[in-house]
Amino acid sequence: MWRRVSLDARLPHPPARVFPYLADPARWPEFAPAVEFRQRIGEGVPEIGSRWWAVDRIFGPFKVRFADVLEVIEPERRVVWHSTSPWNSRVEYVCVAEGEGTRVRADYEGDVAGWLRLVALLPTFVLRRILLRDFRGLTRVLEAEDRAADGLSAEISSAGLRSA
């Protein structure tokens, strides 16, 4: 069943911080609730055609195994991924600087196979809500990085004051 869902997400962080997460499947489990596992197949710098073994968790305990393939990469701007069967899908993330943040345009499309067609039957507004969880998770990860950096800065400043 062919489906297409488009999202427009705004994150309060610059593309230089957002894009590396969207361009590296190994980091997806940190912020995307359905992503259980990603592991690079091969070595070296990722390039067009690079692949990752993938496992997603769908509807509780049900897992889907497939591969993600890098189709396009324009650093800090655009990345396109192809997911093999049963997803048979493509996702394109386009990052645009907007003030101090990033607007991410995410287009998901594909011909879902097997029992995953049940997911494709969900109304578009439900699929959007599910997919937007990834961007809320990414915002939380980036905010946690900010808090950790602020804490380290405070610690360094405090140590500098004590030694003076």
CATH code where residue 46 lies: 3.30.530.20
Does residue 143 lie within any of the structural domains? no
* Average per-residue pLDDT for the chain: 91
Does residue 160 lie within any of the structural domains? no
Query: What ranges make up the beta strands (E) of the chain?
Result: 2-11, 35-41, 51-58, 62-74, 78-83, 89-98, 101-111
Does residue 55 lie within any of the structural domains? yes
- The number of domains in the chain is 1
Asked if residues 108 and 81 have their Cβ atoms less than 8 Å apart, the reply is no
- Say which amino acid occupies 44: G
Tokens 């655009």 map to which residue? 78
Does residue 158 lie within any of the structural domains? no
d(CA 131, CA 144): 21
Tokens 């067009």 map to which residue? 48
Residue with the larger pLDDT of the pair 158 and 6 = 6
CA neighbours within 13 Å on the CB side: how many for 120? 18
d(CA 82, CA 70): 7
Query: What ranges make up the beta strands (E) of 88-160?
Result: 89-98, 101-111
Name the strand (E) or helix (H) holding 144: helix 124-163
Confidence of residue 47 (pLDDT cuts 50, 70, 90): very high
The residue segments making up the domain with residue 9 are 2-138
d(CA 111, CA 86): 9
Does residue 150 lie within any of the structural domains? no
Does residue 162 lie within any of the structural domains? no
Confidence of residue 115 (pLDDT cuts 50, 70, 90): confident
Amino acid 152: pLDDT: 60
Does residue 111 lie within any of the structural domains? yes
Does residue 76 lie within any of the structural domains? yes
Of the given ranges (29-43, 106-120, 149-163), which has the lowest mean pLDDT? 149-163
By CB atoms closer than 10 A (0-12, 13-18, 19+), residue 2 is exposed
Quote the DSSP letter at residue 30.
G
